[in-house]
Amino acid sequence: MYGIPDGIAANQREVTAIIDRARTLTTDDWARSVLPGWSVLDMLDHVARALAQQAEAFERGLRGELDPPEFPNPQAATPAKVIDDLVAGLDALQRALAKLVPESMAALTPMPFGVIPTPVALQIAVVEYGMHRWDLERACGSPTYDLSDDVAAASIAMVPGLLPMLAGRTEQRPAKPAAFQLASPVGAPIVVFDGEQWAPAEATDIPTTVISGSASDLTMFYIGRLNASSAGITVAGSQADAEQFKQYFPGP
């Protein structure tokens, strides 16, 4: 998990890499499809506005204000404007993060989806931009690009808290008790459905679908960019349950 200095440095690295890559994109690159309904231009515009929104979230948390900020209104995006907005958004977020002190990590931050502990908000910010760096690289010709090692490790560490939260977004539930384990070289967290709700577990006797791969591939699996049949992902247990994974944990 990131502390304050390494979280700030990792955020700077991931977003700067996005900006540097954006400056090299061709007209065709900006128009490429990166996610359903989103071009590269759409995604990078989203990233720019998310940076501004998260900067405001951290600023509010530092002031003790817990109303989540609204997403900035979309503008008529052009590549040049998006790059300018990415630069401005990174500056705003880094200035907010630079105000964090050790005592801040015992406080709360009103992230867009809810009020959460500030240490978790810091992890989520870095992982989000690492994820979108992955999106950008994969869309624009780097089919083997992986998350930075520290981003992948931080994202796997988030699984026990994040997956039950994602499960709360849907009524989809297994028909009987079930469990998933995401097994990577940096950790192998387990989440268990006891018939009523999902929760993390250290171990379980419930039949478990074990989904294995690198920390990068498993992150992009649980986020939804890869699926149970993707190269680099292996399944022990129920392949059908593995294919249903995002039905139980939608988003983010």
Distance CA 130, CA 127 (A): 5
Other beta carbons less than 10 A from residue 98's beta carbon: 12
Q: Which pLDDT score, from 0 to 100, does residue 104 have? A: 95
Q: Whole-model pTM?
A: 0.93
Please report which confidence band the pLDDT of residue 72 belongs to, taking 50, 70 and 90 as the band edges: confident
Cα–Cα distances in angstroms (integers) from residue 184 to residues 188, 214, 237, in the given order: 6, 5, 16
Take residue 251 and report the two structure tokens written for it: 């988003």
- Model pLDDT for residues 78-117, shown as the tens digit of each residue: 999 999 999 999 999 999 999 999 999 999 999 988 899 9
Distance CA 128, CA 110 (A): 16
36 upstream amide cis, omega within 30 of 0:
no
**Placement of tokens 């139980």 in the chain:** 248
- Model pLDDT for residues 129-157, shown as the tens digit of each residue: 999 999 999 999 899 999 999 999 999 99
Take residue 24 and report the two structure tokens written for it: 């090299």
Distance CA 2, CA 122 (A): 7
DSSP E strands, 76-163: 108-111, 114-117
Other beta carbons less than 10 A from residue 5's beta carbon: 11
Cβ–Cβ under 8 Å, residues 213 and 234 = yes
Across 210-236, average pLDDT: 96
Cβ–Cβ under 8 Å, residues 250 and 166 = yes
Strand 208-212 versus strand 234-236 pairing type = antiparallel
